[in-house]
């Protein structure tokens, strides 16, 4: 029998929203993972440093998943001063979980430029990639077609191999994006519908995003 697969869901989570949670729940339901660890990055390598600290973003993740027994907060990147390279985190997680296999979860927007990620080929030696469809992003553009030709595989292959399969989910659209939420908060001070209530309360208490 193959070793269980742990999902790693990395992101800025600035803030964590219903789209992230729907994506994680869908992956748990369809890919038979043991659990998913949500890993907020400290310094994202591919974008500007968020205005909200990594500690606060991690606290919001913890609040959002409090009632999700198969999801845990992964704090690994929070204490690292250097940019949060996924390859380094996966290497550390491999050492921490020697008997499990890893699947890194991303949205289709991230697959578009995956070959720009630091040591992306090495990432595929350490983990599978599970790709969630995302409104406005297609598997026919950017890096996706070439990557899927070379690494694309089925759920069965994902369950049988140790790493290196890119598996695209057939999920419905999950909204929103954190960018949209930050804009709504800055302009209207409203975004409750897109956030877990405890996260919304935290944002108001800490007066984040211009609230």
Query: Which stretches of the chain bind ligand ATP, using CB under 6 A?
Result: 11-14, 19-20, 23, 106-107, 109-110, 132, 134, 174-175, 177-179
Smallest distance from ligand ATP to CB 10, Å: 7
Smallest distance from ligand ATP to CB 96, Å: 21
- Beta bridge partners of residue 131, listed in sequence order: 106, 168
Q: Is the Cβ–Cβ distance between 165 and 127 less than 8 Å?
A: no
Smallest distance from ligand ATP to CB 82, Å: 19
Q: Which helix (H) or strand (E) holds 131?
A: strand 128-132
The CA distance from 197 to 136, in Å, is 27
Q: Is the Cβ–Cβ distance between 106 and 144 less than 8 Å?
A: no
Q: Which is nearer to ligand ATP, 3 or 175 (CB)?
A: 175
Q: Which is nearer to ligand ATP, 62 or 106 (CB)?
A: 106
- Helices 197-206/54-64 angle, 10° precision: 150
The CA distance from 21 to 19, in Å, is 5
Q: Which is nearer to ligand ATP, 19 or 164 (CB)?
A: 19
Q: Which is nearer to ligand ATP, 99 or 188 (CB)?
A: 188
Smallest distance from ligand ATP to CB 1, Å: 30
Could you give the 3-state DSSP secondary structure of residue 183? helix
CA of residue 85 relative to chain centroid, distance: 13
Q: Which is nearer to ligand ATP, 132 or 147 (CB)?
A: 132
* Nearest residue to ligand ATP on Cβ basis: 107
Smallest distance from ligand ATP to CB 190, Å: 17
């Amino acid at each position: 029998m193959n070793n269980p697969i742990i999902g790693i869901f990395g992101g800025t989570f600035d803030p964590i929203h219903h789209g992230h949670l729907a994506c994680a729940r869908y992956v748990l339901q369809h890919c038979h993972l043991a659990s998913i660890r949500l890993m907020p990055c400290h310094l994202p390598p591919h974008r500007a440093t968020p205005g909200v600290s990594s500690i606060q973003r991690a606290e919001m993740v913890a609040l959002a998943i409090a009632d999700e027994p198969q999801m845990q907060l992964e704090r690994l990147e929070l204490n690292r001063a250097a940019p949060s390279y996924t390859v380094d985190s996966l290497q550390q997680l491999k050492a921490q979980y020697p008997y499990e296999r890893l699947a890194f979860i991303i949205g289709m927007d991230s697959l578009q430029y995956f070959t720009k990620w630091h040591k992306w080929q090495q990432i595929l030696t350490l983990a599978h990639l599970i790709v969630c469809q995302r409104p406005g992003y297609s598997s026919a553009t950017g890096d996706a077609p070439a990557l899927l030709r070379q690494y694309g595989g089925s759920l069965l292959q994902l369950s049988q191999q140790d790493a290196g399969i890119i598996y695209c989910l057939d999920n419905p659209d999950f909204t929103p994006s954190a960018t949209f939420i930050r804009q709504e908060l800055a302009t209207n001070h409203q975004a409750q519908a897109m956030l877990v209530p405890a996260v919304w309360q935290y944002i108001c208490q800490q007066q984040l995003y211009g609230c």
